[in-house]
Chains A and B, each alone.
Chain A
Amino acid sequence: MTPYVENDQKIDTKLDAKVPPGPLAGKWDQYRFDLKLVNPANKKKFDIIVVGTGLAGASAAATLAELGYHVKNFCIQDSPRRAHSIAAQGGINAAKNYSNDGDSIWRLFYDTIKGGDFRAREANVYRLAQISNHIIDHCVAQGIPFARDYGGFLDNRSFGGAQVSRTFYAKGQTGQQLLLGAYSALMRQVASGMVKMFPRREMMELVVVDGRARGIVTRNLITGEIETYDGHAVVLATGGYGNVFNLSTNAMSSNVTASFRAYKKGAYFANPCFTQIHPTCIPVHGTFQSKLTLMSESLRNDGRVWVPKKPGDKRRAADIPESERDYYLENKYPSFGNLVPRDVASRNAKEQCDKGKGVGETGLAVYLDFEDAINRYGEDVVAGKYGNLFEMYEKITGENPYKTPMMIYPAVHYAMGGLWVDYNLMSTIDGLFVLGEANFSDHGANRLGASALMQGLADGYFIIPYTIGGYLAETTFSEVHAQNSDEFKKGVEAVNNRINRLLSVNGNRTVADFHRKLGLILWDHCGMSRNEEDLLKAKSMVNALKHEFWKDVYIPGIGKDLNQSLENAGRVADFLEFAELMITDALARKESCGCHFNTAFQTEENEARRDDENFCHVAAWEYAGEEKDPVFHKEPLEFENVKLSQRSYK
């Protein structure tokens, strides 16, 4: 079996990243000037479909409407305000250098590229760092109540992977506040009539006409009706695929379906094996568990991570004297200490637990201890910074972290991989743009904390409004109407067939049962550490599970009704196929980088060993048909401004 087809020889015209020429710092300015503009009077002639209302989707929909485009905006929840961006806790980075501690656009750019283990595109990341400052300005103007110091100026805190304080925050609810800001801008445009909102809709199919994305097919989640919507461009901002692992910190409805439908229609999927496993989550504690809860990484500013020095030490934390504790991050990485990037922190936690030094009932946890911080600053100060997180921890575990150290363990959190996009954020399908977590663009093989909010808002507020204009101005559109187009008819048929097929299996096992099994296979074989043997095993296990699913799943109820079992079944069916793609990608990347840690490729100190000669590229996968291995395409990554180096946080 050949896992993929190499096509190094010919230049992949579809994978032209369209990075503008010229010096890095001037690329975006020059490019914005070069992009064609749409005459203000003509903007109202364009309909743009935006799927998703998280930070990327809501900010894009609102901003495009402000510019004069007609926007149709879709979300899966009952209100756009509930998208999963709402749950981001810690903060948003910007290169303001308000702390006067040596930050700059260049440093934010460099930290992000390095944090991603040199697997992201330089020009995109630099643009992100440039835009970061405008985001903060705009959010303050919207009324986001960021934390402030006593002089009334904005406060910053530190986050993993950086040695400067550049993270703006609103207690532990930064995502909520930023999303509500974008949501309020969106509601203003709904009131103005420029945005038509379609809540409780799930995108089931992308419609491509003459090679261009021209619409979507949705399922109305209340009535079960299959609906069609046309437009001149489609913007996907549908988030990440972390729930392929079943247990993750993602919301229950987060899924890969919209992206996967686009993939099957010709959009390449980039780096699907890059999944971030976040180090500070509440450990798993039962088979009934439906999700894992993140504890913001900002806790690592003051919390000290440790395990007992002696494997199998089952004493209570308080009974283990200082001399018998191993503060392994501080010892191993003296310059970054507890603030190493997420992938490094996660892998080290796993390593300690694998050595038998894990704590708690399951042995799959490490301590995050605030005793020193409380002694130094007092309980009030610690409560002021982390109060809501401590309360959340106590609610879930029934333990008080002011008295006993928190127990944490890594959990699936974020997808760096996603649909491949060029500098315009356009996928390999013309007119299909992909924003936020749903695209692959900026975080390489590992995302630094407080960068997801930055990217989502950069894409939505400040990039797509320009680049979509360039596309619309340059394109001659044919007349397409959802009501009388064959492609739309075919899309509806495909969706109906699939729903009927799901309902008619009429087997004996629940959707949740399959999802749990899939999650365990991936967590064990394609999680924090991987190797070829396990991956091959996982690939056949997932394939077998997929076949069992289509033979034995049982979905109660009917299609033309509110049917949550059916919704989940469709998502899990896509996850089962997507999981195979993820494993294929992990197998093909014969190196370790960032979150992708293949045990065959490590340094003597057990750090990820990259292979820049052979794998300094984006792996973009093209759908090849049912039960066929996807076709591999490669976008080489060229680093003209930073020197590739072994990441060191020591």
Chain B
Amino acid sequence: MTTKTINLTLKVWRQNRGEKKGKLKTYFAKNISGDMSFLEMIDVVNEDLTKNREEPIAFDHDCREGICGMCGAVINGRAHGHEKETTLCQLHMRHFSDGDTIVIEPWRSRAFPIIKDLIVDRSALDRIIQSGGYISVNTGGAPDANAIPIAREVAETAFNAAACIGCGACVAACPNASAMLFVSAKISHLALLPQGRIEAAKRAKAMVRQMDQLGFGNCSNETECEAECPKGISIINIARLNREFLKAELC
């Protein structure tokens, strides 16, 4: 654990609710410990703003252990900051240097309208899942859990896709604001498992159609999504989605 502290200049996107345009405002973060998370650093700044009778910076956050997917902002142009496979709440200040200037902006995408400051509306991701991101099983009728053996590697590959936290960093990182990594993760998770195979074709078509309708861009293989994904979701899933989609359209 580190004990040295650093001083930082922050340029933070401020935008009131209903305002068409926001702007970057400058704040100073003083005596920041390296053991703080990025969000704890913002807490400190907000505490100072409150004491000075200014409105604190609004930002989404909840579990603060990298799993709920609630937090996220673009830090110096990188979704969730520059550390690999890290959510903003798990980005620690020991990765910054004394005197740094940090630019903090919300996710930028037509499908994610800004609500206030760093908070955006990501309900489009829920609407994509509603279009088919499930297995149609009602509570009650399931057979014994060991009735269908699933090869360990298959289960693990499905798990790796299912590990998506739905934070939206892939959309924010993509120059086209495409949601392909998010959609492909769910399609892969379910298509890989025998339980999910039955609806695979219908699911692929419905989810892709919904994604297009919600204003997300197309995939042009920039691979920025994979680079910024805090859970390391691989673009192999996008290949699998394309295959599932093609198969569904042709068959």
Pick from B55, B125, B150, B165: contact of A148, CB below 8 A.
Answer: B150
Whether B220 is near chain A, meaning CB under 8 Å from some CB there, is: no
Pick from A399, A510, A562: contact of B116, CB below 8 A.
Answer: A562
Q: Which residues of B contact A354 (CB under 8 A)?
A: none
* Closest beta carbon of chain A to B155's beta carbon, Å: 5
**Would B135 and A142 count as touching, CB distance under 8 A?**
yes
Contact status of A137 and B143, CB under 8 A, knowing A86-B63, A142-B135: yes
**Would B54 and A556 count as touching, CB distance under 8 A?**
yes
Whether A82 is near chain B, meaning CB under 8 Å from some CB there, is: yes
Q: Which residues of B contact A77 (CB under 8 A)?
A: 62, 68, 70
Pick from A145, A191, A252, A288: contact of B62, CB below 8 A.
Answer: A252
Expressed in whole angstroms, the Cα–Cα distance for A277 and B48 within the complex equals: 32
Expressed in whole angstroms, the Cα–Cα distance for A191 and B36 within the complex equals: 41
**Would B146 and A153 count as touching, CB distance under 8 A?**
yes
* Closest beta carbon of chain B to A395's beta carbon, Å: 5
Q: Which residues of A contact B159 (CB under 8 A)?
A: 145, 170-171, 177
Contact status of A288 and B137, CB under 8 A, knowing A81-B69, A82-B68: no
B43: nearest residue on chain A (CB-CB)? A290
- Interface class of chain B by DSSP: loop
Identify the interface centre among B60, B123, B146: most chain A CB within 10 Å of its CB: B146
Contact status of A251 and B195, CB under 8 A, knowing A82-B68, A87-B68: no
Q: Which residues of A contact B148 (CB under 8 A)?
A: 140
Pick from A96, A138, A184, A289: contact of B129, CB below 8 A.
Answer: A184
Expressed in whole angstroms, the Cα–Cα distance for A393 and B17 within the complex equals: 37
Contact status of A252 and B64, CB under 8 A, knowing A152-B150, A398-B1, A556-B53: yes
Contact status of A81 and B126, CB under 8 A, knowing A141-B135, A251-B64, A398-B94: yes
A407: nearest residue on chain B (CB-CB)? B1
Expressed in whole angstroms, the Cα–Cα distance for A27 and B209 within the complex equals: 49
Q: Which residues of B contact A285 (CB under 8 A)?
A: 1, 35
Count chain A residues whose beta carbon lies closer than 8 angstroms to a beta carbon of B.
Answer: 81
Q: Which residues of A contact B47 (CB under 8 A)?
A: 510, 512
B121: nearest residue on chain A (CB-CB)? A78
Task: Flag B56-85 by CB within 8 Å of A: 1 or 0 each.
Answer: 101011111111111000000000000000
Q: Which residues of B contact A142 (CB under 8 A)?
A: 134-135, 137, 195
A146: nearest residue on chain B (CB-CB)? B155
Whether A575 is near chain B, meaning CB under 8 Å from some CB there, is: no
* Closest beta carbon of chain A to B44's beta carbon, Å: 6
Identify the interface centre among B68, B130, B136: most chain A CB within 10 Å of its CB: B68
**Would A140 and B145 count as touching, CB distance under 8 A?**
yes
Instruction: Tell me the A281-332 residues at the B interface (CB within 8 Å).
Output: 285-286, 288-291, 293-294
Q: Which residues of A contact B58 (CB under 8 A)?
A: 562, 564
Expressed in whole angstroms, the Cα–Cα distance for A413 and B152 within the complex equals: 32
Pick from B2, B34, B125: contact of A79, CB below 8 A.
Answer: B125
Expressed in whole angstroms, the Cα–Cα distance for A59 and B140 within the complex equals: 12
B39: nearest residue on chain A (CB-CB)? A290
Expressed in whole angstroms, the Cα–Cα distance for A396 and B158 within the complex equals: 28
A-B contact pairs, 26 of them (CB 8 A): A78-B70, A78-B121, A82-B70, A96-B145, A136-B145, A141-B142, A142-B137, A145-B156, A148-B150, A152-B151, A177-B162, A184-B133, A185-B137, A187-B126, A188-B130, A199-B123, A222-B116, A251-B64, A252-B62, A252-B64, A288-B36, A288-B44, A289-B40, A396-B37, A562-B119, A565-B50
Chain A residues within CB distance 8 Å of chain B: 59, 62-63, 66, 77-82, 84, 86-87, 96, 98, 134, 136-143, 145-154, 170-171, 173, 176-177, 180, 183-185, 187-188, 190-191, 197, 199, 222-223, 251-253, 285-286, 288-291, 293-294, 361, 392, 395-399, 461-462, 465, 510, 512, 554, 556-557, 561-562, 564-565
